[in-house]
Structure 1
């Protein structure tokens, strides 16, 4: 582990403000190497483009969003919170080939839709659909205000190598204002971006301890996680919630990562970082290793920071009322007592 002695000196010098909770909780040894060694930028998006950012599902690599840019604006009035498995359909039918003979499927709802990892599967007219078969499929998306919006899968492509289980979907929504189709995800330059399908949904609200930023495992819905925001970004780090390493599920590590990326110290959905900062992330399951000799920032669990120091990405005092105190933050033995991830900043 990196210069743990130096870390303890830093903690003693600047003090520790504790916050957060502990977590209950790829087979490939190279898991996560393709995208980052994790001395990478951190941002506010939970689903966005920054590695350290504020979006839970949005566009910052280091930013505040949990899942990318929301659909607020002149064409839609709310964040896309989840997508229904039930009721998916093909607007104009599909075609299949049997013994070289083409037949047209009549427009109808799919009989069943589910995810295996990030790969969409379904049954339609007696046919098993997988991945690219979902191009032009329609889904109902649930908005934060309780209304729904029609979604369309425009493209579906798998990654390669160690990330062959990660499918990228370009998805559009039909504007209830003018009927035009527009992308649900955009990159930092405003161009359409892909999304990764992930089981369950997140609460995108902020300032709600134990609620904001929380992941819900609801079998009825899934999330289209925009590339670049925290949900998708943590998958790119190697924390695939459907995978495991050495018999350990990475679902909890993925959720802890979404807190870490957004600097959601208090576990209430509030990001305390700004876009473009650097963060070093590591664990003890072998997905990400400690590669830097930076100052310790925090220990992380699914409910936010287990503890954090003043050497953090907020660059301002952060207080989490009612959070338990921890005498020493960043000790190696913390990983055996509930900590899933640790982070450092320059």
Structure 2
């Protein structure tokens, strides 16, 4: 991407969760959402006729942090959930609910959705079956498609999902600031609630703009791409862990809204920022951690000043005490078993305790 600088200052907007996750509240079904006297039952044809009208942009004006998928956690704004919940985690390309007669499925190739078997058919207007983080079915409509301004090879999709609580089509992506209608990217496979990517034939993740999955693609780590003959899939996965400060690789974020970090990788795609700018002062930053696809491989400290013991207790047996010098003034004090500087994919620096 031409607009992507070799040195990237990354603004990561994520929520810090409490030390203990509460049990996920029970799913609210469409029949429980509102009394029959308030919301009349709609036929399938009537429901599909309402899609892509844009009548329900966002149901809350609260600005929330960017999470893994970048989606809302629940349709019910009063429902308390943790960051591992999502109203939409993936769509099933083989479960087409509404499409032209000659379309039997939808496939993803390098970040673009294609109709199958007739690739000339337009995917815009189709309705596909998806699922939320609890495995409940979710209908998803593809309402528009447009190439990324920074990288025309990447397609952005405007999507809506059927909200069973409000009984209307709604953008499932979280909004922030001026992005009132955030879009989504199509990425092959699925991510589970622990933040792990899984190859799943026919399954496609619609990653919203403010989520770590799409952010890491924007930063250059396309999971379908290669660099010097090596796949970028592992680099992308490591990036999603790093962006969210998911040290233990369990899906839990340890960062806060508006955090600025400097990231650099083993491929030389992003290099360390050494000169000060209006948003970054390298003299005030220090090394935080090194990263692999399943979380931190070694750590010097946490992003917001939590004691390292907190992380060691969160994922017992994962790290052991032992210094490792990665070079370039990057030195860890706890490490994974068997890690070495050669196995590190990503590193980052941040302001100590800020």
Q: Shared fold by TM > 0.5? A: yes
Within-5 A mapping of 1:21-40: 31=1, 33-34=3-4, 37-40=7-10
Measured after TM superposition, the shift of residue 155 of structure 1 is: 0.7
Give distance in 2, aligned partners of 1:194 and 1:118: 13
1:114 aligns with 2:114: no
Look up the SS of the partner of 2:251 in the other structure.
coil
Within-5 A mapping of 1:46-195: 63=65, 65-74=67-76, 79-90=87-98, 93=100, 108=101, 110-123=103-116, 127-129=118-120, 133-160=122-149, 163-189=151-177, 191-195=180-184
Choose the corresponding residue for 2:324, options 328, 338, 343. 328
1:234 aligns with 2:216: yes
Judge which range, 237-246 or 79-88, deviates more: 79-88
1:279-326 CA distance string (max 9 Å, x none):
10001213211113431111000110111112x312211323212334
Give distance in 2, aligned partners of 1:273 and 1:237: 19
Judge which range, 288-297 or 212-221, deviates more: 288-297
Change in 2 beyond 3 A, CA 1:314/1:63: farther
Give distance in 2, aligned partners of 1:154 and 1:203: 26
Give distance in 2, aligned partners of 1:63 and 1:176: 24
Give distance in 1, aligned partners of 2:161 and 2:63: 24
1:225-263 CA distance string (max 9 Å, x none):
010211010001000101111111110000000000000
Measured after TM superposition, the shift of residue 121 of structure 1 is: 1.1
The answer to whether the Cα contact below 8 Å between 1:301 and 1:341 also exists between their aligned partners in 2 is yes
Give distance in 2, aligned partners of 1:329 and 1:69: 38
Change in 2 beyond 3 A, CA 1:280/1:144: same
RMSD: 2.8
Give distance in 2, aligned partners of 1:319 and 1:280: 22
Q: How many residues align?
A: 274
Measured after TM superposition, the shift of residue 41 of structure 1 is: 1.6
Within-5 A mapping of 1:278-293: 278-292=260-274, 293=282
Measured after TM superposition, the shift of residue 32 of structure 1 is: 7.1
Measured after TM superposition, the shift of residue 87 of structure 1 is: 2.2
The answer to whether the Cα contact below 8 Å between 2:266 and 2:344 also exists between their aligned partners in 1 is no
Change in 2 beyond 3 A, CA 1:255/1:230: same
Give distance in 2, aligned partners of 1:236 and 1:170: 17
> Which runs of 5 or more structure 1 residues have no equivalent in the other structure?
1-30, 46-59, 94-107, 205-211
Give distance in 2, aligned partners of 1:89 and 1:109: 13
Change in 2 beyond 3 A, CA 1:32/1:339: farther
Give distance in 1, aligned partners of 2:189 and 2:162: 23
TM-score normalised by the chain length of structure 2: 0.70
Residue 307 of structure 1 is matched in structure 2 by 298
Change in 2 beyond 3 A, CA 1:218/1:203: same
Judge which range, 193-202 or 287-296, deviates more: 287-296
Residue 40 of structure 2 is matched in structure 1 by none
Within-5 A mapping of 1:208-223: 212-223=194-205
Give distance in 2, aligned partners of 1:89 and 1:73: 21
